[in-house]
């Protein structure tokens, strides 16, 4: 099977702000764009930001809606973390270890774009935990944002 790419469309209110966060901040390549949308390459996956006239409001917590990436190499996760810090991106949840000492242990952080979209970036110590380790029931945590 050839490589399958993930596609996600999400709402924004301003294309220049979108490009500043995703391209200058996260390092996404910019693809096609119009006054009301822009295609972004996030580590080989297609994000499409669409301008909406509807007001965008923050969530009360990190659930139910967020998107992101799982890094197979910890150094790559650390490099993105450093980039986010260098570009003063907004952290919805600061970098942390979840489930330390368990087979589910992973490092994670959440960013919030200027339109309240939440992005999570993870690295699992045990790659089997990405889709497996079904004997455990822990999934995420209940975090409420300020």
In 109-131, which positions are buried (b, 16+ CB within 10 angstroms) versus exposed (e)? bbbbbbbbbbbbbbbbbeeebee
The tens digit of pLDDT for each residue in 93-107 reads: 999 998 888 888 899
Of 2-11, 108-117, 130-139, the range with the highest mean pLDDT is: 108-117
* Tokens of residue 120, six digits: 């999570």
pLDDT of residue 144: 47
**Tally of CA atoms within 13 A in the half-sphere of 34 that contains its CB:** 5
Report CA 40 to chain centroid distance, whole Å: 13
Question: Which sign does the torsion angle of CA 62, 65, 67, 73 carry?
Answer: positive
Percent of the chain with pLDDT over 90: 72
Total-model pTM? 0.89
The tens digit of pLDDT for each residue in 36-58 reads: 999 999 999 999 999 999 999 99
- Of 24-28, 65-69, 140-144, the range with the lowest mean pLDDT is 140-144
């Amino acid at each position: 099977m050839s490589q399958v790419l993930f596609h996600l469309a999400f709402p924004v209110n301003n294309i220049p702000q979108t490009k500043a966060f995703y391209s200058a901040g996260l390092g996404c390549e910019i693809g096609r764009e119009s006054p009301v949308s822009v295609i972004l390459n996030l580590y080989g996956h297609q994000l499409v930001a669409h301008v909406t006239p509807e007001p965008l409001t923050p969530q009360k917590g990190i659930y139910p809606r967020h998107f992101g990436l799982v890094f197979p190499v910890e150094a790559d996760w650390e490099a993105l973390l450093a980039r986010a810090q260098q570009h003063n991106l907004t952290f919805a949840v600061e970098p942390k270890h979840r489930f330390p000492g368990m087979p589910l242990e992973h490092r994670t952080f959440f960013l919030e774009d200027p339109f309240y979209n939440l992005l999570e970036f993870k690295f699992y110590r045990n790659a089997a935990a990405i889709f497996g380790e079904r004997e455990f029931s822990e999934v995420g945590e209940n975090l409420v944002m300020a």
